Amino acid sequence: MLKRVTILLVITALVWSCSQNNGDSMSENPFFTEWETPFQTPPFDKIEEAHYLPAYKKGLEEHKKEIDAIINNTEEPTFKNTIEALEKSGALLTKINYVFGAMNSSMTNDNMQAIAKEVYPMLSKHGDEINLNPELFAKVKAVYDKKDELELNKEQEILLDNYYKNFVRGGANLKDAEKEEFKKINEELSVLSLKFGENVLKETNKYYITLDEKDLEGLPESVIEMGASEAKAKGLEGKYVYTIQRTSMYPFLTYSTRRDLREKLYRGYIMKGDNNDELDNKNNASKMAVLRLKRANILGYETHADYVLEENMAKTPDQVMTHLNKLWNAALKKSKQELKEMQAISDAEGNNYKLESWDWWHYAEKLKMQKYSLDEEELRPYFKVENVIDGVFKLSTALWGIQFEERKDIPVYHPDVKVFELKEKDGKHIGILFTDYYPRASKRGGAWMSAFRKQSNRDGNFVTPVIYNVGNFTKPTESTPSLLSVDNVITLYHEFGHAIHGLLSNCTYEALSGTSTPIDFVEFPSQLMENWSMHPDVLKTYAKHYETGEVIPDELIEKIKKSGYHNQGFGYTESIAAALLDMHYHTITEATDIDINKFEKDVLAKIGLIDEIVPRYRTTYFNHIFAGGYSAGYYSYSWANVLDADGYQAFVETGDVLNQELAVKLRKYVLSTGGTDDSMELYKKFRGKAPDANALFTKLGFK
């Protein structure tokens, strides 16, 4: 998942004290000085919690002065003194947002969350004050109205269009009373979103099962060791703990023969935010869906989805639903076939029960063994996390000549974090990549990419990007390194695809650089990267046994290849179910309270989801749409799947999945261009034609 940082999220004047330093001093607050670290990366060894609020206060003041200067400029509005001036404004604020947003996602605590609760409503208010300022909008509109007379290049045209549309979509044309309501809605949404995410994190950290040795039936040694390590970390020496972090839960669900314990752990996961306690998210989700509808209506849109999709490749809810339903019907049919095969295995074992959702991983693994003689535990020893990282680096070298060098002289925010410098083949610096791959209580679940600094090239000053990847992969134990599952490997490649999109950016304006594309295009580079992860030629560069150094044998590679269609019905059914749930929440047309559990149940019944599958995300822990930037946008993963399947097919068709000519085109038209052109046009320039959805159906075995 891509984590988006909103530039106009800005902050408050709350005084925060920590130790004996309140962070106000110009000489002591690192945000107030140029960073002297290598490549001006954040000086994490100097940044303290006490620095954030004073820095935000100053950032707000500076940004307001910069906006006032644009408004008070008596010269005729031009692209330079209005649009470029807006683009340059708020530099300090952006600098703080990137760091604070990252730390509140991966190093949060009560203090950070308290700061966020003060900050985000103020950021929302500040953003609205800019977007709703009639004098500022008048200047932007004056430039926009004469755009045909201006000699602008394509990137400048898009920047101008985006600024104008952002003002209109941000309420600039509203009447005064409507503006006030609009601001209140935005402020309330910012608070609700923050609370929703906090609740999910607390629920994830709160729930786990503690087992004795007698409860470990069926678990392989690596999973037992993982449980013992988790127990030790919680002060439960001699016990075994399994959490609802996916890296802990999925192996347990896969191998445990204790059906009662599988159910107990899985129910803990799917009931996050739905336990009618202080962490319950039903009311938060209901309020957010209704407030988003009200905001869309104020702006003249029928639904929130209409508002969101206008700026995406899909354009309309009908287009999204047509896309999702086509995939849904094929995926559901496939998953029912998978269920039938798994039920037959259970029946043959003499079990007298119908399989349930907590049984799926267990019997999917048995089905894989039966059909392909492939055990996930056979593969893990070849997927040591350091080797997988080395593999994706070597892939980048093979495709684009990029070189990677670990930098131990750059400050990090946690001991698990590693830093790499990327260079061109000729040694020219490209950017910096931080990696942070292990779970901890201070980090939210999932995996994502974002930036500490985005690429730009204003006034001939090329600013190189500082990007980070975050994951929650299996932690090393005292005797075993971090060994990844196939799904983990694919996730790492996915997030690196986002990272390389940000790192290879070559745009003028930060607002358009890197991953600043429509949400249903931004997943294309990341999902395209997944395709290479299991290709035999790539596997042999990194899949090496962590103990012997042996390269993964051809026999296992062949099994991986043959099992490529395995469980795809399930994977797409649970994912599309979540996307359809998202779309139903954001196409409501009545602003009345929603009974969340009834709404969810009714939607899933309407689409025909089978009882044995739970959506990838139930409403109450659907962070993507209620605590992230994917509302009415979760469909984008499957939309981009069409692009990535067709795009990868271009490489396959040449007979060389590392085809240099195509790699150059991919970099030129996709990875370096950000949002500087229409996404479909960029895809066509890379591929030579529009995407063919049949490539995805073939890839998944749905045909």
Tokens in use for 545?
């046994």
Cβ proximity of 137 and 172 under 8 Å: yes
* Residue 84 DSSP symbol: I
Q: At what angle do helices 110-131 and 49-72 cross, to 10 degrees?
A: 0
Q: Of 659, 686, 658, 661, whose CA–CA distance to 672 is shortest?
A: 686
β-strand pairing of 466-470 with 429-436: parallel
- Residue entry with tokens 């925010």: 413
Cβ proximity of 183 and 125 under 8 Å: yes
How far apart, in whole angstroms, are the C-alpha atoms of residue 435 and residue 437?
Answer: 6
Q: Of 196, 197, 203, whose CA–CA distance to 286 is shortest?
A: 196
E-state strands within 496-633: none
- Give the H or E element holding residue 324: helix 317-348
Over the Cα atoms of the chain, what is R_g? 25
Q: How many residues comprise the chain?
A: 703
Q: Give me the helices (H) in 373-518, please.
A: 376-379, 385-400, 486-503
Q: Determine the residue type at 2.
A: L
- Residue entry with tokens 């073939």: 698
| Residues ≥6 apart with Cβ < 8 Å to 408 | 419
Q: What is the DSSP string of 448-459?
A: EEEEEE--EEET
Tokens in use for 51?
């620095």
Would you name the residues annotated as active-site residues? 495
How far apart, in whole angstroms, are the C-alpha atoms of residue 323 and residue 403?
Answer: 39
Collapse the DSSP code of 210 into the 3-class scheme (helix H, G, I; strand E, B; otherwise coil) and give the result: strand
- Give the H or E element holding residue 574: helix 568-585
Tokens in use for 471?
């994951």
Q: Determine the residue type at 476.
A: P
Cβ proximity of 442 and 106 under 8 Å: yes
Cβ proximity of 218 and 366 under 8 Å: no
Q: At what angle do helices 176-206 and 110-131 cross, to 10 degrees?
A: 160
Q: Determine the residue type at 305.
A: A
- Give the burial class of 132: count Cβ atoms within 10 A of its Cβ; 0-12 exposed, 13-18 middle, 19 or more buried: buried
Residue 470's DSSP bridge partners are 436, 448
